[in-house]
Amino acid sequence: MPSDRQVLAAARSSGLRRAALAVRDVLYPPRCAACGRFEQGFLCERCHELLIPASGPGTCGNCSAPWDGADFCPACMHWDALDGARAAYRHEGPARALVHALKYRRVRAIAQTLAPDIGGLLAAEQLTVAFPVPLHRRRVRSRGFNQAEAILDHLALERPAGGLLRSRRTRSQVGLDLAARRGNVAGAFDYRGERLDGARVALIDDVLTTGATANECARVLKDFGASHVVAITFARANPPNRAWPTGGDG
């Protein structure tokens, strides 16, 4: 367990980093995250037109992954706690560029650009409370913020006191197959707060790939009484060994 002095030092360091990132966002005019043009926001009209909706023909109605409609969707059939997932766009092209700039270039202001599309998905789901997918405190300290929490800051949803916690540090999920992803996050989350009896929960994040992390979060939330948990993300990444349908918006 870290000492009180270490916790306070980490909080000061994280606070200074957040302040520095906020100053940078104000002093430097935004560029389109996809093409680099100077813009009023972080996505120009031309690149916005290149965004491809995640849902549509050739995709699963429950998780927006590519699916031919035969038998069960292989992308979400393994979820035993998560009830579904909704995403605004495919994680490619401009959508990928926005997520990358938010997450790895640490442009926190992009969260406000992503939030309206996520808000549109929330309106159709009748979800009553929301939690961001948590990062480990070391990852938050390194990045300066949790991108999921930054998005949720711009959404009008109830956030119960306390919340989901990442109780142990995990490897990055990037590059791991489904089995490795599930093992990586097993038992990695905890919940502290009032019970969620009957709550319909939105689990907010920037991008969903296999859903292993969201499913593990949903398991914890249901242990504390949640009745329904849906992952709501800006982008849906193509799960391993799946191909997006071609043609149209699908």
Predicted pLDDT at 115? 95
Residues of the chain with pLDDT under 50: 1-11, 248-250
- CA 250 to CA 232: how far, in whole Å? 19
> Which class for 202: exposed (0-12), middle (13-18), buried (19 or more C-beta within 10 A)?
buried
Q: Residue 164 contacts by C-beta under 8 Å, 6 or more apart in sequence? A: 131, 132, 133, 134, 189, 190, 191, 217, 220, 221
Predicted pLDDT at 88: 97
DSSP letter assigned to residue 244: P
Listed by start position, the domains of the chain span 4-236
Per-residue model confidence (pLDDT) at position 20: 65
pLDDT at 207: 95
Check residue 201 and give its pLDDT: 96
CA-to-CA distance for 247 and 144, rounded, in angstroms? 39
Question: How far apart, in whole angstroms, are the C-alpha atoms of residue 235 and residue 40?
Answer: 22
Burial per residue of 103-138, b for 16 or more beta-carbon CB atoms within 10 angstroms, e otherwise: beebbbbbbebbbebbbebbeeeebbbbbbbbbbbe
What is the C-alpha to C-alpha distance for residues 55 and 145, in angstroms, rounded to an integer? 29
Rounded CA-CA distance 85/231 in Å is 4
The per-residue pLDDT for range 131-167, each reduced to its tens digit, is: 999 988 888 888 899 999 999 999 988 888 778 998 8
Q: Are 191 and 214 in contact (CB under 8 A)?
A: no
Instruction: Give the Cα separation of 90 and 79 in Å (integer).
Output: 20
pLDDT value at residue 28: 64
Model pTM above 0.85: no
